[in-house]
Amino acid sequence: MIEIENVRKSFGALEVLKGINLTVAKGEVLTVIGGSGSGKSTLLTCINGLEPIDSGRILVDGVEVHAKSTDLNKLRQKIGIVFQQWNAFPHLTVLENVMLAQVKVLKRSKAEAEAEAAKQLNHVGLGEKMSVYPSRLSGGQQQRMAIARALAMSPDYMLFDEVTSALDPQLVGEVLDTLRMLASEGMTMICVTHEMKFAREVSDRVAFFHKGVMAEIAPPEQLFGAPKDPELQKFLAATH
Amino acid sequence: MFNYNFRWNQALNSLPQMLEGALVTMEIAILSMVIGISVAILLTLFRLSGNRLLYAIATTWVEIARNTPALFQIYMVHFGLGGFGIHLSPYLSLLIGIAFNNAGYLAENFRGALKAIPETQTRAARSLGMTPIQAFQNVILPQMLRISFLPMTNQMVWAILMTSLGAVVAMNTDLYGVTSDLNARTFRTFELFAIAAVIFYVITKVITLSARLLAARLFRY
CB distance A134 to A89 below 8 Å? yes
Question: B125 and chain A: CB distance < 8 Å anywhere?
Answer: yes
Element (H, E) at B151: helix B149-162
Q: Which amino acid is at B177?
A: G
Domain A2-239 superfamily per CATH: P-loop containing nucleotide triphosphate hydrolases (3.40.50.300)
Return the number of other C-beta atoms located less than 10 Å from residue A235's C-beta: 22
Question: B118 and chain A: CB distance < 8 Å anywhere?
Answer: yes
b or e along A133-154 (b: 16 or more beta carbons within 10 Å of the residue's beta carbon)? bbeebebbbbbbbbbbbbbbbe
Domains and CATH numbers, chain B: 14-218 (1.10.3720.10)
Residues above pLDDT 70, as percent of chain B:
100
pLDDT at residue B5 in the model: 82
Taking an 8 Å cut-off on Cβ atoms, the answer to whether A83 and B221 are in contact is no
Taking phi over 0 as left and psi of -120 to 50 as alpha, with beta for the rest, B94 belongs to: alpha
- A contacts of B134 (beta carbons < 8 Å): 104-105
Taking an 8 Å cut-off on Cβ atoms, the answer to whether A89 and B124 are in contact is yes
Question: B134 and chain A: CB distance < 8 Å anywhere?
Answer: yes
Q: Which amino acid is at B121?
A: Q
Ordered by start, the domain boundaries in chain A are 2-239
Cα of B30 to nearest chain A Cα, Å:
26
For B2-12, write each residue's pLDDT tens digit. Answer: 777 888 888 88
pLDDT at residue B3 in the model: 77
Q: In this model, does residue B180 exceed pLDDT 80?
A: yes
- A contacts of B131 (beta carbons < 8 Å): 73
The pLDDT-based confidence of B1 (bands split at 50, 70, 90) is: low
For A161-182, write each residue's pLDDT tens digit. Answer: 999 988 888 888 888 999 999 9
Mean pLDDT, residues B5-30 taken together:
92
Cα of B220 to nearest chain A Cα, Å:
8
The pLDDT-based confidence of A240 (bands split at 50, 70, 90) is: low
CB distance A100 to A136 below 8 Å? no
Please give the torsion angle defined by the CA atoms of residues B110, B114, B115 and B116, in that order, rounded to the nearest 10 degrees.
100
Residue of A nearest to B129 (CA): A73
